[in-house]
Amino acid sequence: MITAVRQRPYFLTNNTKSLGKKEDEESSQSQHTQNAQNNEPEYQINSNERKTIQQQLVESKAVHQQAVASRDATLKSATVNIAQILKDFRGTTKAIGASPELTDEVNAYLQLVEKQVKKDNPDIKIVRSNLKNASTLLDNYITETLQRPSKVVENWIDALFLQQINYRFNEEEINPNFLVKFPNQQHEDDENGNSQSEDEEEKQEEEEKSINIPQDEKLKSLFIQAKKYCYANNSKRAMELFKEALDRAIEVEDKETESKILYEIGKIYDKNDYLVQALTSYNKSLTVTNDLNVKTKAHYSMAQIYDDVAQFESAINHYMSSISYAGVSENLIAQSTSLTKIGNIYSDEYKKEAFDFLLEADLLSAQTDNTKIKGFISSNIANAYDRFNEPQKALKYYCGAIKEYEDANLPQKVAINYKRAAELMQDYKNPAKAQKLYKKALAKARQTDDVQLMKEIHEALNNKNLKQLT
């Protein structure tokens, strides 16, 4: 529920050539000085020595200042102000749908904290104690709502206590590394690409299965280390290692590994919203490989970027390229996923061609045993039929999505599709059926940690219009 914003990655520049040049210059300068010692009077040597010493002192001072500045910047990036913590705490209380009574109780503790940190010498023990008390209240509420133990807020507070906290209250001091993301109403978008959806998760699983380890030992070691840092969400270190691996792959002329590394670099850029750099890396990966799997993934990833920024013609072109390469390698999952994405683009534009792609995706996925992808496709077909005002067909495919997600043991997806089916029935004046479906959605949502989803379903069940109609 509570997630820190990711830091942005960067490349370490390769300074080998410039370093060599500098060494050559220093060597030349040293030789020049030696020649001067043989020919110039003694007083001129002393003068040169003084200049050299002064230059060294200047350089040493500059290095020291740079080190101090770097240290201060690092310390600043690792420090969070208490005002930011209090703001995020209140945001958390609101995000989980706490009752007015609980909100007042939590705010009472937070007000004690705020009063304390606005003093000249705040008592840190009192601050921490009241934050822990407030976190316990929220966790108890989440536990009661989920019907299972939860310490998500307490764990968040404990993690913050391990950081550098500035207890001097300052609302202007915002550290983006500690910003908190709260749940928003994007459940409908989850299956349409606005967050990591099941087709992307499946794609990631397929990628991990298809990784070929390079033969060169140094390259192999760098590649494996970089992947480990990717799995640990350490984009910065992963990028550094992939850059080293890329240099090594070029050195040993391993084109296939070079392509895979370029693709992985593209993924890191993509993940951190460096879209131009991501597109460049994906495109480069295409130019140095004959691997159909890499070509399929790279075109799909480029299509996703264009899709997200509403450049639909480019998106469709790359989805079609991905389908072509996936077809050659008989990758039914990749084909059906890209077909579904194209269908969604046409559906959003209210073009009937959407069903040509969506129903073809359904036929292809039926030939696999991947229930998650089948559920994803059925859910998107249902959304399209709902958009084109065909409720019976929409309901049929929502039922299909629920069945597939049940088999895949994905209760959140089951709950979302029950909720959508309920909304459909409510729109078409069948409140009894809607209420029944909402209750099923709530039962499934209770098997997850999605407090926001439960809150939305509760609100729908308590909606006055629904009650009046029933």
What are 259-282's pLDDT values in tens digits?
A: 999 999 999 999 988 888 999 999
Cβ burial, residue 120 (10 Å; 0-12/13-18/19+): exposed
DSSP state of 397: H
- The pLDDT value recorded for residue 468 is 55
| Residues contacting residue 103 through CB under 8 Å, at least 6 positions apart | 93, 94
Sequence-ordered alpha helix ranges (H) in 272-311 = 275-287, 292-308
Backbone dihedral angles phi then psi of residue 186, each to the nearest 5 degrees: -120, 20
Token readout for 175 is 């550290």
DSSP helix/strand/coil, 80: strand
- Give CA torsion, residues 409, 414, 415, 420, to 10 deg: 170
Domains of the chain, residue spans: 80-182, 188-469
Q: What sign has the CA pseudo-torsion 169, 173, 176, 177? A: negative
Tokens of 261: 């590394």
Looking at every residue in the chain, the average pLDDT score rounds to: 78
Q: Concatenate the DSSP letters of all residues of 156-181 into one string.
A: HHHHHHTSEEE-S--TT---GGG-EE
Task: Say what the pLDDT of residue 202 is.
Answer: 47
Q: Which residues pair with 4 in a beta bridge?
A: 180
Give yes or no for a contact between 281 and 261, defined as CB atoms under 8 angstroms apart.
no
Higher pLDDT, 322 or 208: 322
Question: Is residue 239 exposed (0-12), middle (13-18) or buried (19+ Cβ within 10 Å)?
Answer: buried
Q: Which residue has the higher pLDDT, 69 or 167?
A: 167
Which tokens belong to 41? 């009077």
- The CA distance from 301 to 468, in Å, is 48
Dist CA 143 CA 152 (whole Å):
10
* Share of residues in the chain with pLDDT > 70 (%): 71
124-146 and 451-461 helices cross at what angle (nearest 10)?
A: 50
Averaged pLDDT for residues 188-212: 44
Q: What is the pTM of this model?
A: 0.58
Q: Is the pLDDT of residue 382 over 60?
A: yes
DSSP code of 88? H
Pairing of strands 164-166, 79-81: parallel
Q: What are phi and psi of 408, to 5 degrees?
A: -85, 0
The pair phi, psi for residue 151, each rounded to 5°, is -130, 30
| Helices within 349-463 (DSSP H only) | 354-365, 371-387, 391-407, 411-427, 431-445, 451-461
Q: Which distant-in-sequence residues (6+ apart) come within 8 Å of 114 by Cβ?
A: 86, 169
CA distance 68 to 366: 62
Alpha-carbon gap, residue 234 to 256, rounded angstroms: 24
Cα separation of 293 and 327, whole Å?
11
Which top CATH class is 188-469? mainly alpha
For residues 252 and 430, what is the distance between their CA atoms, to the nearest angstrom? 67
List, for residues 72-112, the tens digit of each pLDDT value. 444 445 578 888 888 888 887 876 677 788 888 889 999 99
Strand, coil or helix: 3: strand
Cα 338 to chain centroid distance, Å, stands at: 21
**Parallel, antiparallel, or unpaired for β 180-181 and 3-4?**
antiparallel
Q: Which pLDDT belongs to residue 181?
A: 46
Report pLDDT digits (tens) over 302-317: 999 999 988 999 999 9
Q: Is 289 helix (H, G, I), strand (E, B) or coil?
A: coil
Which segment of 15-29, 104-118, 337-351, 352-366 scores lowest on mean pLDDT? 15-29
